[in-house]
A and B are shown apart, each in its own frame.
Chain A
Amino acid sequence: MASYVPPGAPRPASNANNPPSSHPPPNFRANPNSLADNLHNLNFNSAAPRAPSPLPGTPFSRQATQPRPPSGPPFPPTFSHPNEPSPWIVPPPGARPPPFVSSASRGLASNGQPVFASGALPGGQWFPPLGSAPQPPVRPPPTMAMARAPPQPPTATSRPLMGSSLIRAPPVQPASPFSAAPQARQPPTTAYPYGQPTWPLQPGQGAPPPPITGSPQPPRMFGMPPPLPNQSMTSVSSAVGQIGAPVAGASKIDPNQIPRPIPSSSVILHETRQGNQANPPPPATSDYIVRDTGNCSPRYMRCTINQIPCTDDLLTTSGMQLALMVQPLAIPHPSEETVQVVDFGESGPVRCSRCKGYINPFMKFIDQGRRFICNFCGFTDETPREYHCNLGPDGRRRDADERPELCRGTVEFVASREYMVRDPMPAVYFFLIDVSTNAIQTGATAAACGAINQVIADLPEGPRTMVGIATFDSTIHFYNLKRALQQPLMLVVPDVQDVYTPLQTDLVVQLSECRQHLELLLESIPTMFLENRTAESAFGAATKSCHQLALVPFLQETLKEELTSLQGRSIVLDFQEAHKLLQPADETLKAMAIEFAEYQVCVDVFITTQTYVDIASIAVIPRTTGGQVYYYYPFSAVSDPAKLYNDLRWNVTRPQGFEAVMRVRCSQGIEVLEYNGNFCKRMPTDVDLPGIDCDKTVMVTLKHDDNLKDGSECAFQCALLYTTVNGQRRIRVTTLSLPCTSILSNLFRSAELDTQFACFLKQAASEIPSRPLLLVKDRMTNLCINILLSYRKFCATVTSSGQLILPEALKLLPLYTLALIKSKGLRTDGRIDERSFWINYLSSISTPLAIPFVHPRMVAIHDLNSKEGDQSLVPPVISLSTEHVNDGGIYLLENGEDCLIYIGNSVDSDILQQLFCISSVDEIPAQFVLQQYDNPLSKKLNDLVNEIRRQRCSYLRLKLCKKGDPSGMLFFSYMIEDKSSSGLSYVEFLVHVHRQIQLKMSS
């Protein structure tokens, strides 16, 4: 199920075209440069000799021949059984063919009919064209499903969602590029106890085969060309509305019919604009390849609604959020064209003289090209003489197609002098390691040193990379690495109240000059402090002194830290006050963070702890400086070093920029309300990002300041001025132009669930620290209810008030909302630190990762072997309900950060032996390191985990869970659809939502 486009994993596109064995493994470790190249638009993709490849021309050309755009002719048959209309209610916009709304009771009544929900596109007709060698992940023919269907209980057949996933499960294994890939896989982590784990070593086994292009019209759930009629529903019987008892309601809803996420299995091809119209992007969580035809790729910027409401009222009515998710350095799909770099020379890029908007495809040239109208402020500018070009008959500039800035949604300008306050600074990596007693004893220091030692090898070479290191307990120890003769010199700065740097130079040294010293030092640090009895950690001071370093004219850019424990605030037990603990303890760290940001220092914190460390306070620094918090709790010296290493490694090798300033501009009528993410804001209009990387997303909420004209387009432009790792100053300009609409139903149709829900998440996360949890929960529920209510009220041409009608685009909103309410951050029983971490994690998370973070993915792994032949590495997703967890099974649940493997009580010991080398459930180790044993099942599991890691750009903390154990409880706490202490079951929740809607309707 290579359905998610992994936003992070570097995947050399050429991989698929070359024999994997001969290709350098495209993992992080081997290819940091290519990543960087990717970032900088070096022709990463096109460089590969793949002229004969069907990429990328083929897919698109094929597309043209396919009857793709106009509505749904090909679809209805695929979606449902047309002869089964009764449960479906035609949604308001009416005229659209596929009727998707049904009443639950009816649905139940028509039990036995395979009601294929929208996503369930049995891909029978998508049989891979036999000729094309590499296969896309394609669904098996329905026949397979049929073949499997009989043994299932009757209800199973009536579970279209499950059914479909089952259908997909039987692997139709084409002669895929994967076949060779596994050979290159490396032995498992255990071979390298200190994290030279498999993950990065492995080849990009999961690289989606570029020939996905072979699948001409991938199945779509949401990403239909413009008028997408699908509007799904969930039905709730009218009875439910009257009787309050959720149980009663639940009894009347078939839990198997309610909407669940169906990850699309194949890669979607997406052109950002077609026919001079914005093309609604595919869901963020799906796997897609973008061709930039004017609008930016949705990876860089996507809007919660793909049509902009003309008026504020309209937006308010809809109950939806209008916001942009901006991820300016997102990693493109390897098959995508890289962002082109445009150099305007000394004069710099052409900009509107009034609003300073950058030239983009939507600037309209008039008057024979002598002037142009800014699509943001509407001002008419003179075209600079050297930029002048005549217009063609179509009104476009003749050179429009040759100039990337006039035909691409995303371009990068080389920044001229005027964009530089000073020369770009060298990249300084400063590592700060905790060596207090705790850290030493838990092995965190050793792990950190080991990780750093390995990561040094991955740092970009050259004179621009400078490295420094310091350790701290109650004092701070710096190391002079630039010493001709002997070992590094340790410089202890004992005065933590008033810190200072002990040396002006030499603490931060060019990597090439100090590599040996550094390695030696890192090896000796854990033993050096073995006797350390200092329990306190002067984290604040340590950070502060690094800040002092920044004051030294030899600047500073990135600061990586390892931290174990901190004297935390005492935890207030008073529940009412609990949320206050989620706020920073005092202002000093905040002030320090702002200073950091001023000196362009980006701080990442790795917290390896056994106790409470007050993340809420610590996190202020990474949040303000564009950094990130990594949290390893409780730190295990056995299983965590690998993750620590990989996190650190990804942290330094991922595409990133420094000294960045970002601003989003909007067309007249819309203005930016607020930015939300990890940055420092000093001016109302701009955000300062000392560091920005491919994973960081900034949410930009928008508001109307005027009405927009129906039929016009509203443009958004994100300009990011940053320094590349190579020290070039660039401006990445991402432009998105969306149509405006005054029709409410259009809004619902073009709403984008993933983005919108990510927006919800971030809002919830930002509210938690300042409000009581219950209030936040209510607010989130109400947001969901209001949207649905609005839809119900104004868009659904409904008859029965007993039906809960969901807009197709947002049909999963209740499920996600429920997941959010039950998530760690909103649960009252969680640890304060975990909640703080949760909040922080969300603040910069990208859209594709946001959803799984609260709504994890669960797959069965005990039967991996039986899926022999399936080309998809990830088995079908199981809904998050205890119902689907059998005692005899092993399940893997992951949310992009943690990965829990639940082992049922009565699992076949054979399987246990094969997977974990244990003979019974009782032997499950508390600390787990995934190893690959010499059997196909273990190999498959490793493949699976690696694939997930690749998709999530995260190494995942693996943990084994078993029933009757706290670990089991943890696992079950992710069973969102179940009724639990933290909330209603999914069905109950739907009933609740429905009742609320009914209440509001009637009032």
Chain B
Amino acid sequence: MAEFLELESQDGVRMPWNVIPGTKQESSNCVVPVSAIYSPIRPLPNITLLPYSPLRCRTCRSVLNPFAIVDFAAKIWICPFCFQRNHFPPNYASISDDNLPAELFPHYTTIEYSQDSQIDQSPPQPPLVFLFVIDSCLIEEEMGFLKSSLSQAFDLLPDNSLVGLITFGTLVHVHELGFAQIPKTYVFRGNKDISKEQLLEHMSFFAKKPKPAGVIAGARDGLSAESISRFLLPKAECEFAFNSVLEELQKDPWGVPTDQRATRCTSTALSIAASLLGACVPGSGARIMAFIGGPSTEGSGAIVSKNLSDPIRSHKDLDKDSAPLYHKAVKFYEGLSKQLVHQGHVLDLFACALDQDSGLAITYQIFLFSIPLHIGILNVTMEFNDWELAASFSFLHLIQSRIPGGVGSDNLCWGLISCMKFLLGLSTVGVAELKIAVERTGGLVVLAESFGHPVFKDSLRRIFQAGDYDLGLSSNGIFEINCSKDIKVQGIIGPCASLEKKGPLCSDTVIGQGNTTAWKMCGLDKATSLCLIFEVVKKESPDATIQSTSNQFYFQFLTYYQHYSGQMRLRVTTLSRRWVAGPGSIQASFADLVAGFDQEAAAVVMARQVSFKMETEAEFDPIRWLDKALIHLCSRFGDFQKESPSSFSLSPRLSIFPQFMFNLRRSQFVQVFNNSPDETAYFRMILNRENVANSVVMIQPSLISFSFHSGPEPALLDVASIAADKILLLDSYFIMVIFHGATIAQWRKAGYHNQPEHQAFAHLLQAPRDEADSIIKERFPVPRLVICDQHGSQARFLLAKLNPSATYNSDGPLPGGDVIFTDDVSFEVFLDHLQRLAVQ
């Protein structure tokens, strides 16, 4: 495992197969695709920045790298990808075996070039542009939270950045911050799409001049700096105007009938914002920061009608294709994403919706069933406050405990699911529809239940914060790929958009953003990770001679981007991986493959793949697909005697993989029905942009136990880990739970930790907090921290994630004294089945 991490810290790459199944047939048998999770601008400890332009191969344009064969005498290098012989240019004349340029150092497989830093020390750095798009259909309280967060965020903006402001509700207000006399806004209709040309005309950009013919894009193309500066102003100049607009910002004044939702034209506002940026600052780094507090009900991107009696689409509706506005909205945002990608601008989404429709509306499913199988499902939609939820939880608990246990036809059981529902308790703002625009542009996304919640507030602060934990927001990235000719690219699952640069490298099978060898990454940051999926096209050939010549595959990843310092940079990562194949050496190659198997990376690739398939393929059964894949993998790489489940064993390289799959099956990525489409979209967006380590936490939360007896130690993600005298820290990426066992909780309630003689207890209480804080500091979006006690209602956050080794069906309560009310199978059962099926 450690070697993979080492590779990652050198190149920012994790691959499930570090030894690649060498033929098409082989690789398809390996179930987990040949793929890589690559973080293009991950800060690497040993990276070098070269102040000159890279040397490129004449034919394939790949960049000179340590894997090139160099003929020092002839001053020639041979490209490892296309085997083209290239001459070194005159400035490489002094090259020799002991005088290598940095890019040829063997361990500089990843290196950065910065072309312009040498030419000019102070290139006019294009200022960063932040266009705030603010929803005004908020309740007063939320508005207050948002205002204070925004004005804080404004202070944190870089001084040279340009700022613009758009607010929207029923109508879209574009604030002309540069108008000195009185506050001035342009008002656009919410239900009418406006093209960029119309916008230019309406905002009288060409009032003083004849309109130039052709495409209008920014100052270079005839738009005067003066008119741009009406809407986008340097931070210092518009501080007063911005703050006064913010201060005066009122709830959308158009009245909302009680049986209706607020009229919210999110899509129009975003489209106007995109057009405004497209007109003013095309091609330079700009972010649209959208703060949205509810579902869009107006315009092309509406996700639900204004009528409150029409429910917001659920996963069920999407599955049955009965969400009438969904496809239209997605189509709209697809168009928007194209526009944004074309302009190189990012859409960041901050969706905070405390459901204004009905408080906390949740779907509360009460399973009513009798043994052996359930008879019916009773769906009850209710509104809950947190305390009400706690009350009903304990009520159900009570009923459950009063029902005679055992087997019988009259056995009534209550299953309470929807735990994730309560995690965020959100209504919908349309993240599912917006996902495409955010993801393609590499935008950030934060989903929280309120603008007053730390999840939002701290996340927003993190974006602008400088220092150790800054996000390293960069922009205008272009990602390109080169690889050996026996490898083809199926596509990328991750925050990028295809530039539709087709080439011989493109595979016919397309996954994610495929059919191209170049991708646009409008926004990218340190954490951004792409999942590249390859296809091995090498045909099985008995001819062993070819194999002997070269059993290496080469990959080169090129990332041009505007570094957050303003510099344009190119990062080049060149990888080489050995491949194994050949019928003659099956056992050997098996061992090789297994040795190069990165279970974490594999789990993450599977997770991204299953999410992607669930989104794109109709009638896709993720559980079945995952189970099949796992069984297939186990039966291929497992060690067993046929038809003997007990003989089954897995190599340590693969041993945790089934557990990852078990948890993935239970995770929010697969079990979507407990979540709203928005939440699912949100989780997936984060999954698709995070690196392997963080993604693994999402799939399989980590659990740390703290007790007097020992220091912090990892605990089994199992209900059995619960103990009265332990504190558990669960990190499921989005949520961190500090769970006090019953005894600890009692002590805490009694306030022992405040007494000097119980300092040890205080330390014990503090330890998980410190641990959580250190995790929270590094994470974006900031996770939600839940501190709860055993048997408390909030404990559900923990219980939902634990392996239900003890349920109400279990024979006896565990020592920890907790059971989980679920019908989900426990990991043991799962493994039993797996073994049984794998050996068939």
A490 within 8 A of B: yes
Q: Which residues of B have CB within 8 Å of A493?
A: 186-187
Contact B189 A495 (CB under 8 A): yes
Q: Which of A578-637 contact B (CB under 8 A)?
A: none
Q: Which of B244-300 contact A (CB under 8 A)?
A: 244, 247-248, 253-255
In the bound complex, what is the Cα–Cα distance between A534 and B194 (angstroms)? 21
A498 within 8 A of B: yes
Contact A495 B188 (CB under 8 A): yes
In the bound complex, what is the Cα–Cα distance between A471 and B170 (angstroms)? 22
Contact A487 B253 (CB under 8 A): no
A527 within 8 A of B: yes
Smallest CB–CB gap between B131 and chain A, Å?
18
Q: Which residues of A have CB within 8 Å of B194?
A: 495
What total of A-B pairs shows CB separation below 8 Å? 80
Contact B254 A528 (CB under 8 A): no
Contact B184 A492 (CB under 8 A): yes
In the bound complex, what is the Cα–Cα distance between A521 and B183 (angstroms)? 11
Q: Which residue of B lies closest to A499 (CB)?
A: B189
Which segment, of A316-324, A501-509, A689-697, A917-925, faces chain B? A501-509
In the bound complex, what is the Cα–Cα distance between A478 and B183 (angstroms)? 12
Contact A534 B207 (CB under 8 A): yes
Q: Which of A477-494 contact B (CB under 8 A)?
A: 477-478, 483, 485-494
Contact A490 B253 (CB under 8 A): no
Q: Which of B155-179 contact A (CB under 8 A)?
A: 170-171, 173, 176, 179
A871 within 8 A of B: no
Contact B183 A490 (CB under 8 A): yes
Q: Which residues of A have CB within 8 Å of B176?
A: 492
B5 within 8 A of A: no
Smallest CB–CB gap between B506 and chain A, Å?
43
With A475-B202, A491-B173, A533-B207 as contacts: A527 and B181 at CB distance below 8 Å: yes
Contact B248 A483 (CB under 8 A): yes
B614 within 8 A of A: no
Contact B204 A489 (CB under 8 A): no
In the bound complex, what is the Cα–Cα distance between A486 and B181 (angstroms)? 12
With A485-B247, A489-B248 as contacts: A498 and B253 at CB distance below 8 Å: no
B668 within 8 A of A: no
Contact A521 B186 (CB under 8 A): no
With A485-B248, A489-B248, A500-B171 as contacts: A534 and B204 at CB distance below 8 Å: yes
In the bound complex, what is the Cα–Cα distance between A527 and B182 (angstroms)? 11
B203 within 8 A of A: yes
Contact B182 A475 (CB under 8 A): no
Q: Which residue of B lies closest to A553 (CB)?
A: B255
Residues of chain B at interface, number, CB under 8 A: 29
Q: Which residues of A have CB within 8 Å of B204?
A: 474-475, 494, 534
With A486-B244, A502-B187, A503-B253 as contacts: A494 and B173 at CB distance below 8 Å: no
Q: Which of B204-261 contact A (CB under 8 A)?
A: 204, 207-208, 244, 247-248, 253-255
In the bound complex, what is the Cα–Cα distance between A494 and B179 (angstroms)? 16
A524 within 8 A of B: yes
In the bound complex, what is the Cα–Cα distance between A528 and B181 (angstroms)? 6
B185 within 8 A of A: yes
Q: Which residues of B have CB within 8 Å of A503?
A: 253-254
Contact B181 A494 (CB under 8 A): no
In the bound complex, what is the Cα–Cα distance between A534 and B207 (angstroms)? 6
Contact B185 A492 (CB under 8 A): yes
How many chain A residues sit at the interface, stated as a range, is: 20 to 34
With A494-B202, A503-B253 as contacts: A488 and B182 at CB distance below 8 Å: yes
Cross-chain contact of B208 among A498, A505, A533 (Cβ < 8 A) = A533
Contact A495 B253 (CB under 8 A): no
Q: Which residues of B have CB within 8 Å of A528?
A: 181-182
In the bound complex, what is the Cα–Cα distance between A505 and B170 (angstroms)? 13
Smallest CB–CB gap between B143 and chain A, Å?
15
B758 within 8 A of A: no
Q: Which residues of B have CB within 8 Å of A474?
A: 204, 207
Q: Which residues of A have CB within 8 Å of B187?
A: 478, 491-494, 500, 502
Q: Mark B771-810, 1 if CB is under 8 A from A, else 0.
A: 0000000000000000000000000000000000000000
B192 within 8 A of A: yes
Q: Which residues of A have CB within 8 Å of B255?
A: 504
Q: Which residue of A lies closest to B181 (CB)?
A: A528
In the bound complex, what is the Cα–Cα distance between A518 and B248 (angstroms)? 18
Cross-chain contact of A494 among B186, B244, B248 (Cβ < 8 A) = B186
Contact B202 A489 (CB under 8 A): no
Q: Mark A701-717, 1 if CB is under 8 A from B, else 0.
A: 00000000000000000
Q: Which residues of B have CB within 8 Å of A475?
A: 186, 202, 204
Q: Which residues of B have CB within 8 Å of A533?
A: 207-208
Q: Which residue of A lies closest to B244 (CB)?
A: A486
Q: Which residues of B have CB within 8 Å of A487?
A: 182-183
Contact B253 A489 (CB under 8 A): no
Q: Which of A162-195 contact B (CB under 8 A)?
A: none
Q: Which residues of A have CB within 8 Å of B182?
A: 487-490, 521, 524, 528
With A485-B248, A503-B253, A504-B255 as contacts: A490 and B208 at CB distance below 8 Å: no
Contact A504 B181 (CB under 8 A): no
With A495-B194, A533-B207 as contacts: A489 and B183 at CB distance below 8 Å: yes
> A494, A524, A528: which has the most chain B beta carbons within 10 Å?
A494
Q: Which residues of A have CB within 8 Å of B208?
A: 533
In the bound complex, what is the Cα–Cα distance between A500 and B191 (angstroms)? 11
In the bound complex, what is the Cα–Cα distance between A786 and B247 (angstroms)? 76
Q: Which residue of A lies closest to B245 (CB)?
A: A489
Q: Which of A537-589 contact B (CB under 8 A)?
A: none
Q: Which residue of B lies closest to A529 (CB)?
A: B181
Smallest CB–CB gap between B137 and chain A, Å?
13
Q: Which residues of B have CB within 8 Å of A521?
A: 182
Contact B253 A506 (CB under 8 A): yes
Q: Which residues of A have CB within 8 Å of B171?
A: 500, 502
With A489-B248, A495-B189, A495-B192 as contacts: A505 and B181 at CB distance below 8 Å: no
Q: Which residues of B have CB within 8 Å of A486?
A: 183, 244, 248
Q: Which residues of A have CB within 8 Å of B170?
A: 504
Contact B244 A490 (CB under 8 A): no
Q: Which residues of A have CB within 8 Å of B198?
A: 495
Q: Which of B408-449 contact A (CB under 8 A)?
A: none
In the bound complex, what is the Cα–Cα distance between A483 and B187 (angstroms)? 18
Contact B202 A495 (CB under 8 A): yes
Contact A490 B207 (CB under 8 A): no
Q: Which residue of B lies closest to A506 (CB)?
A: B253
Cross-chain contact of B188 among A477, A494, A524, A532 (Cβ < 8 A) = A494
With A487-B182, A487-B183, A524-B181 as contacts: A504 and B189 at CB distance below 8 Å: no
Cross-chain contact of A490 among B184, B192, B201, B248 (Cβ < 8 A) = B184
Q: Which residues of A have CB within 8 Å of B207?
A: 474, 532-534
Q: Which residues of B have CB within 8 Å of A532?
A: 207
Q: Which residue of B lies closest to A477 (CB)?
A: B184
In the bound complex, what is the Cα–Cα distance between A431 and B185 (angstroms)? 19
Smallest CB–CB gap between A216 and chain B, Å?
65
Smallest CB–CB gap between A182 and chain B, Å?
44
Q: Which residues of A have CB within 8 Å of B244?
A: 486
Q: Which residue of A lies closest to B170 (CB)?
A: A504
Q: Which residues of B have CB within 8 Å of A506?
A: 253
Q: Which residues of B have CB within 8 Å of A478?
A: 187
Q: Which residue of B lies closest to A496 (CB)?
A: B202
Q: Which residues of B have CB within 8 Å of A534?
A: 204, 207
Instruction: Beyond A494-B187, A495-B198, list 14 extra A-B contacts (CB 8 Å).
Output: A474-B204, A486-B244, A486-B248, A488-B183, A489-B182, A490-B185, A491-B187, A494-B188, A494-B201, A494-B204, A498-B189, A500-B187, A502-B173, A521-B182
Q: List 16 A-B contacts (CB under 8 A).
A: A475-B204, A477-B184, A478-B187, A487-B182, A490-B179, A490-B185, A494-B201, A495-B188, A498-B192, A500-B171, A502-B171, A502-B185, A503-B254, A504-B254, A527-B181, A532-B207
**What are the nearest 6 A-B pairs in CB distance?**
A494-B202, A502-B187, A490-B184, A492-B186, A487-B182, A528-B181
B residues within 8 Å of A by Cβ?
A: 170-171, 173, 176, 179, 181-189, 192, 194, 198, 201-204, 207-208, 244, 247-248, 253-255
